[in-house]
Amino acid sequence: MFQRLALLALLAGALPATAQQTADSVAPETGAATGAMAASPAVQAALDAKAAGQPVAAQTWMIAAANPLAVEAGAKALATGGSAADAMVAVQAVLGLVEPQSSGLGGGAFLVWYDAATGEVTTLDGRETAPLAATPTLFQTADGEPLKFFDAVVGGRSVGVPGTPALMQAAHDRWGQSDWAGLFTDAIALAEGGFAVSPRLAALVARDAERLSRFAATRTYFLPGGTPLAEGDRLTNVAYGQTLRSLAAHGAEAFYSGPIAQDIVTTVRTAAGNPGVMAPIDLAIYQVKERDPVCVAYRAHDVCGMGPPSSGALTVGQILGMLDGYDLSAGPEEADVWRLIGDASRLAFADRGRYMADSDFVPVPVNGLVDPVYLADRATLLAGGDALPEVAPGSPAFDHALNWADDDSLEFPSTSHISIVDAAGNALSMTTTIENGFGSRLMAAGGFLLNNELTDFSFRTHRNGVPIANRVEPGKRPRSSMSPTIVLKDGEPVLVVGSPGGSRIIGYVAKTIIAHLDWGLDVQTAVSLPHAVNRFGTYDLEEGTSAAELEAGLQTFGYETNLRGLNSGLHAISVGPDGLLGGADPRREGIALGD
């Protein structure tokens, strides 16, 4: 108990006093004060551990996410007896404020849950959904040509019906222990009392200033007086605080009907130059879907994650399933190890591009794609010593006879990941997104950005007359790469992990699992390990890291290589006999905190 009170006291120093309920304006506004607030001792210790490449150790609970203020809010919930679901609600509410470019109430998320009481793993699908009036040609010109990506993204056309508020509610309804309304206290205090703009947010606002300036509400918030927010600026969002107060008082229902819902519809339908088709009925009928996890055996563990409409667990699972028969113990310095990982990934991405989409709309051969016999057969293709000259989709067992064409869906890196283990031993892995950085760039009057998730659909409907599984359809959910994952050994969780990063998420997560299970690296070292990612043939190597040393070897195998920034945001927790270890990605601003 002393430890819990001590942690709460340490955390308390970092948060502003709860603001008065003064919000009668619906427009977001910026405060005048500048200057970053000092980190609490617990946060500083976590930041120091990350900088030193050390995991954070704990015995009872652990949380890792993308921003210290958000992690603190979740830690408070856990320290006062809350469950992982409670902590997630508190974290998400703060992330939507302090990391608005990546996730928030206007977006969607997938959640994987390990239940300590039953030993079961389940998943919740809070993916954004296409409006009922959306048609397969949503992202095409009058001539039937695909729109340019940002012509589709910016405005109302790309906005899917948000799922995050409903997911927060659904998780709390199932697994919550704490009072729902109290979980919003920290986020409301920060929204109304102000928080310091982080370096990453400031840099991204500056980079995106032109697009953020196209809509008045977005411009006023992110570029007050025409100047991009700067690091350390004190930012308030009274409108967001008011939205949270409505959610706290009335639940997610307050988001899907009434003034908040009506404003979302109006914002989408009146977006200048690129309006969308969302209607009140689309929000009114939104549903979180509970789905079976997709689990694949790897190194005598079960790797469990989110099935369709995410391609995450199927593609990570295919990569690992194909590698299970190969020895990777030579480690991450060995180019031939990366040949195996890279070509397993290319084979998995070929299947992903052809077969994976929203299984409520198109038959997806979920069982066939991760069938051990099928994967063992595909894995024989890896037995040669060079990069595969060509990669094509395989023929997994199908429940239906169908012919799909390969798709060309574009996905860009944004998004955020939350990993939590609570005192009861429940584990939560949730990846949350508004898709592109700052989503559609439309800001609702309620102080949150609206997603552009519909651009995760294929812009084309057919290829050579053959339909594409991930084409737009009314009420359908766009295919995702988000890979929230829980790895189990003998039915108990040993690793909770996930990342942002567009379709590179799959490679980041697969690498971290291999680093932990095959190479015995602790979670912080596994998360920090330089990236090498291969989706479609070119090997992306993380510039400025030791991954660049793989270049010559990989070129000898026949790969084209590309040195570039690989901006993951991995957050991971391992569970072992000595307790919990947390790791936060040094490429982002997050931390792990535990007790």
Judge residue 279's burial from the number of C-beta atoms within 10 Å of its C-beta, 0-12 exposed, 13-18 middle, 19 or more buried: middle
Residues numbered 497-516 forming contacts with ligand GLY, rule: CB under 6 A: 502
The answer to whether residue 411 forms part of the interface with ligand GLY (CB under 6 A) is yes
Answer for the pair 238, 22: CB distance below 8 angstroms, yes or no. yes
* Bridge pairing between strands 539-542 and 561-564: parallel
Q: Shortest approach of ligand GLY to residue 435 CB, angstroms?
A: 4
Our CB check for ligand GLY shows the closer of 72 and 456 to be: 456
Chain Cα centroid distance, residue 287 = 19
d(CA 173, CA 85): 9
Q: Note if 267 is an active site residue.
A: no
Q: Shortest approach of ligand GLY to residue 434 CB, angstroms?
A: 8
Residues numbered 472-491 forming contacts with ligand GLY, rule: CB under 6 A: 480-482
Q: Shortest approach of ligand GLY to residue 502 CB, angstroms?
A: 6
Residue position matching structure tokens 């991760």: 370
Judged by CB under 6 A, the number of residues near ligand GLY is 10
Q: Shortest approach of ligand GLY to residue 446 CB, angstroms?
A: 22
Our CB check for ligand GLY shows the closer of 229 and 356 to be: 356
Long-range contacts of 462-466 (CB under 8 A, 24+ apart): 462/405, 463/405, 463/406, 463/407, 464/405, 466/403, 466/404, 466/405
Q: Shortest approach of ligand GLY to residue 437 CB, angstroms?
A: 11
Residues numbered 426-465 forming contacts with ligand GLY, rule: CB under 6 A: 433, 435, 453, 456
Our CB check for ligand GLY shows the closer of 156 and 484 to be: 484
d(CA 369, CA 351): 8
Q: Where are the beta strands (DSSP E) in 271-343?
A: 289-291, 294-298, 301-305
Residues numbered 202-261 forming contacts with ligand GLY, rule: CB under 6 A: none
Q: What tokens does 86 get?
A: 């409670």
Our CB check for ligand GLY shows the closer of 324 and 411 to be: 411
**Catalytic pick among 129, 218, 415, 512:** 415
Our CB check for ligand GLY shows the closer of 344 and 509 to be: 509
| Cβ burial 23-55 (10 Å sphere, 16+ → b, else e) | beebebbbbeeeeeeebbebbeebbebbeeeeb
H/E stretch holding 346: helix 335-355
Q: Shortest approach of ligand GLY to residue 356 CB, angstroms?
A: 11
Answer for the pair 199, 426: CB distance below 8 angstroms, yes or no. no
Our CB check for ligand GLY shows the closer of 260 and 482 to be: 482
The site for ligand GLY (CB under 6 A) is made up of: 411, 415, 433, 435, 453, 456, 480-482, 502
**Active site positions, annotated:** 415
